[in-house]
Structure formats: structure tokens, C-alpha cells
Chain A
Amino acid sequence: MGVTKEQVESSLNSKLNPSHIEVLDTSGGCGASFVVEIVSEQFEGKRLLERHRMVNAALEEEMKEIHALSVKKAVTPEQWKKLQESNQSNPAA
């Protein structure tokens, strides 16, 4: 059956209120594999493990169908800004 990119986005949007979100369906169509990049204030003061747990929890229903979920980034808006700046100053990185 699988899950759609839109379902993943809408669950993450409603539960983590992200300021930036990028969901990539890497399943090749079956809807069982996603790469997620998410920026949210709710990650503030949380360790990476806790942030990933928050993403997992937000996608609890979807995870039943998802085989592979890769959280590439789970950062705060502040960290995101720094990442963007460092990417701009060093485009090759």
C-alpha cells in the first residue's frame, strides 16, 4: 500500500509545526521509503536522539507502512540558518 509524500508532510506539519520541511520519496513509487529534512522550534534544547524520536512519534501511523525513514536533518531554525549560511559561503560542501 505505502504512504504518500503528502501524508508524511501533513503529519509532520501538524505535529511538529516546522518552519521548513522537505520530504523525499525514495521508494521508487511503492511509498515505503522516505528521506526527511525538518526544521522546527520544537527541537530546541533536545538531543538528536530525542529529535528523531519526535519525528518517529509524529509518523507513528505512517511508520507501519514505511520500511525506511531517513531523517537527514532535524534542526532548530537557528541551526538551519547557520547551515544555510555555511552552505552559501562554501557551495562545494
Chain B
Amino acid sequence: MSFSCCVKPIPLHLHLHPTTTTTSCFNSHLSGTTTTSSLSLRPLVLTRNTSFNFHPKLLLKRSFNTIRCSALTPELKSTLDKVVTSNKIVLFMKGTKDFPQCGFSNTVVQILKSLNASFETINILENDLLRQGLKDYSNWPTFPQLYIDGEFFGGCDITVEAYKNGELQELVEKAMCS
């Protein structure tokens, strides 16, 4: 298997991606279970975006979460459990914080930014297995999906409504302080 397959397909990334990180990607692939049925599936990459997505120096320091799975496997479930509990606020979205690729995702990003919330985003367009698995994980058919304090909060409509009535700000502040 080529190492480059676990690298996020952004040109900038490919040039700057350090070898050490690539190796750790590969190792984490080895730790996952590979069955015959999953051989045809692309490796799944979960990339935690920082708000400095395109700063070359920071990009090098960036940490990666790499996992491999098919739809909502027990492995994906436990990884998602970790992702949503180890970050106060996580947004699974189309595109990135800096380049949302869907109006609904963009709305939620702008709301969170306006609340000065620090949040992680994960681009579900990069992997279809993650995308499908998350629908089951959250029991929610569409994206974006917002998690606060390890719990599914809602999609775009719910976030907008909670933002309007002040509930979101309260929850975000609570999450940031906890």
C-alpha cells in the first residue's frame, strides 16, 4: 500500500507532510483489523483542523488521527467516541473551517466563530466511509453535525435556533469553562 494514500489530498499538505507523521499513519493502519471485505475500501483519515490551516510551520507540527474502517465498525465507533469526548466542541462538516463547502456547514462555522468558541472541524467530504458511519453514529441523516461536550447537539437548523435564543452561547461557554 502506498503511504501517500493516507495523506489528505491537499497539495500544500503533500509537500509539507513530514515523513515521521506518515510512518505513524501507517502504524495506526496496522493496528486496525483489515479483513478481506475491507481491502477494497480506502483508508480513512480523520484530520483535526486547526484554525491555522494554511500556515506552513504550524502545518508541520499538526497532529493526525488516522483510523481505518468500513461504515460504522466498532473501531470507527470507538474512535468517534474519542474524537467527540477529547474535544469540547467538534463540528463534522463539508469542507473546512476556512473553506466550508456547503452553506449549512458555513452557517454553523460562522455561528461558532461569532461566539468565540474554539472548535475542531472534521471534513467528511474526504472520506465516504466516515460520512456514512457518522450518519449511523449520530443517528442523523445530514451534515453538518455539531458535538458539544461529547454529546450530539444537532444540525444546522437546531444550531441556528439555539443561537438565536441564547441557549447555544450558554452551552458553549459552559463547555469552554469545564
Do A56 and B140 touch across chains, with their CB atoms under 8 A apart?
Answer: yes
> Is A49 a contact partner of B158 (Cβ separation < 8 A)?
yes
Residues on A facing B (Cβ under 8 Å)? 48-49, 52-53, 56, 63, 68-72
User: In the complex, are the beta carbons of B157 and A63 less than 8 A apart?
Assistant: no
Number of A-B contacts defined by CB within 8 Å: 27
Contact A48 B141 (CB under 8 A): no
Contact of B142 with A71 in the complex, beta carbons under 8 Å:
no
Contact indicator B157/A49 (Cβ below 8 Å) = no
**Chain B interface size range:** 10 to 19
A68 touches B157 (CB 8 A): no
CB contacts under 8 Å to A, within B151-167, are: 152-158, 161-162
For residue B11, give the distance in angstroms from its CB to the closest CB of chain A. 29
Among A52, A68, A71, the residue within 8 A (CB) of B104 is A68
- Name the distance in Å between A33's Cβ and chain B's nearest Cβ: 11
Pairs A–B under 8 Å by Cβ, sample size 23: A48-B154, A48-B158, A48-B161, A48-B162, A49-B152, A49-B153, A49-B154, A49-B158, A52-B154, A52-B155, A52-B157, A52-B158, A53-B139, A53-B140, A56-B140, A56-B141, A68-B104, A69-B141, A69-B142, A70-B104, A70-B156, A71-B157, A72-B157
- Give B contacts to A, CB under 8 Å: 104, 139-142, 152-158, 161-162
- Bound together, the chains give a CA A47 to CA B104 distance in angstroms of 21
Residue of B nearest to A57 (CB): B139
How far, in whole Å, are A40 and B141 apart by their CA atoms in the complex? Answer: 21
A residues less than 8 Å from B157 (CB atoms): 52, 70-72
Hey, which chain B residues are within 8 Å of A72, CB to CB? 157
A79, chain B: closest CB distance, angstroms: 12
Give chain A residues whose Cβ lies under 8 Å from the Cβ of B161. 48
Q: In the assembled complex, which residues on chain A have CB atoms less than 8 Å from the CB atom of B154?
A: 48-49, 52
Could you say which residues of chain A place their CB within 8 Å of the CB of B162? 48
Q: How far is the CB of A24 from chain B (nearest CB, A)?
A: 14
A49 CA / B154 CA spacing, docked (Å): 6
* Chain A: CB-nearest residue to B165: A48
